[in-house]
Amino acid sequence: MDQNMKYGSDYKPVPATSIKSGQSIEVLPELFCHTIQIVNICLAGNPETKEFVLIDAGMPGSANEIVSVSEKYFGANSRPKAIILTHGHFDHVGAIIELVKHWEVPVYAHELEIPFLTGQTSYSEPDPTVEGGMVAKMSSLFPNEPVDLGSNVRKLPMDGTVPHLPDFRWIHTPGHSPGHISLFREKDRTLLAGDAFVTVKQDSLYKVLTQKQEVSGPPRYFTTDWKAAKESVQELSSLKPAVAVTGHGLPMAGEELSKELEKLAQEFDNIAIPDYGRYVDKKQ
Ligand SMILES: [Zn+2]
Ligand SMILES: [Zn+2]
């Protein structure tokens, strides 16, 4: 294992939370979801065989919590086969270095996300001026410098397969970040959407705190390419997922999901794209 890993220079705990923080649910057999402050991680795998994969790596300082949730479902000293990242924003890689050291497992991400995971490229600064609520306004606190995982991070296979998750395929869903991916399981139409869309209005502090369900576009303060974000939502909507777990907000299923996701895809410009902000050009 390459021991030379480091977080971005602006890495720090962020004081934001929700009523679901610390709670876990079994979304489906072999799919567990856990909320860390304001972000979700997923564990996909079979508790009997103890073979599983972690999807995303939580907030800064949450490694012990992620290890104990993993052990709760998969047994003492269990470890995932790999960590798959939907993207590399601070709230999805917050505990990754401690986890890689503890478990000694590889990390997989889309090749366009690798520069943001190997210390080469910073994300654009979060935009506190974007149209939105308190979370958007406090987003200047959010780290945007890249983590450096060295040789511990690998490119996902180009053929769409997901290492150690044979039922899933990955789909490139850029816009929120260049190498953002979603994971889809055809047999029961399960979608792990990362931040391509979310089920809570992530820029509103009240809605984040209460986790009121509402299919929304990607978190505004970090989204820089709205044209790509729109196409990604349209592609995910066309998959007609039966269940969706997103990076923020509670899992959603059935008719509520299909109706709201279709609406988001059709009315993306109105619902998702902010009226003003640094990365918005509504004329696009
Ligand atoms: Zn994000
Ligand atoms: Zn996020």
Domains of the chain with bracketed CATH = 24-271 (3.60.15.10)
Which ligand does the CA of 249 lie closest to? 2
Which ligand does the CA of 175 lie closest to? 1
- Tell me how far the alpha carbon of residue 6 lies from the centroid of ligand 1, in angstroms: 19
- Tell me how far the alpha carbon of residue 259 lies from the centroid of ligand 1, in angstroms: 24
Which ligand does the CA of 208 lie closest to? 2
At residue 1, the pLDDT reads 85
- What's phi and psi for 192, nearest 5 deg? -105, 105
Query: Ligand 2 (ion): which residues have CB within 5 A?
Result: 91, 195, 247
- Tell me how far the alpha carbon of residue 113 lies from the centroid of ligand 2, in angstroms: 14
Query: What pLDDT tens digit does each residue of the chain (284 aa) get?
Result: 888 999 999 999 998 889 999 999 999 999 999 999 999 999 999 999 999 999 999 999 999 999 999 999 999 999 999 999 999 999 999 999 999 999 999 999 999 999 999 999 999 999 999 999 989 999 999 999 999 999 999 999 999 999 999 999 999 999 999 999 999 999 999 999 999 999 999 888 888 899 999 999 999 999 999 999 999 999 999 999 999 999 999 999 999 999 999 999 999 999 999 999 999 976 55
Which ligand does the CA of 36 lie closest to? 2
- Distance, in Å, from the CA atom of 61 to the CA atom of 36, rounded to the nearest integer, reads 10
- Tell me how far the alpha carbon of residue 48 lies from the centroid of ligand 1, in angstroms: 32
Cβ pair 97, 65 in contact under 8 A: no
At residue 3, the pLDDT reads 86
- Tell me how far the alpha carbon of residue 221 lies from the centroid of ligand 1, in angstroms: 9
- Distance, in Å, from the CA atom of 50 to the CA atom of 70, rounded to the nearest integer, reads 10
- Tell me how far the alpha carbon of residue 102 lies from the centroid of ligand 2, in angstroms: 23
* 0.85 exceeded by pTM: yes
- Distance, in Å, from the CA atom of 202 to the CA atom of 75, rounded to the nearest integer, reads 33
- Tell me how far the alpha carbon of residue 89 lies from the centroid of ligand 1, in angstroms: 5
Which ligand does the CA of 37 lie closest to? 2
Which ligand does the CA of 38 lie closest to? 2
- Tell me how far the alpha carbon of residue 118 lies from the centroid of ligand 2, in angstroms: 19
- Tell me how far the alpha carbon of residue 235 lies from the centroid of ligand 2, in angstroms: 20
Query: Ligand 1 (ion): which residues have CB within 5 A?
Result: 89, 195
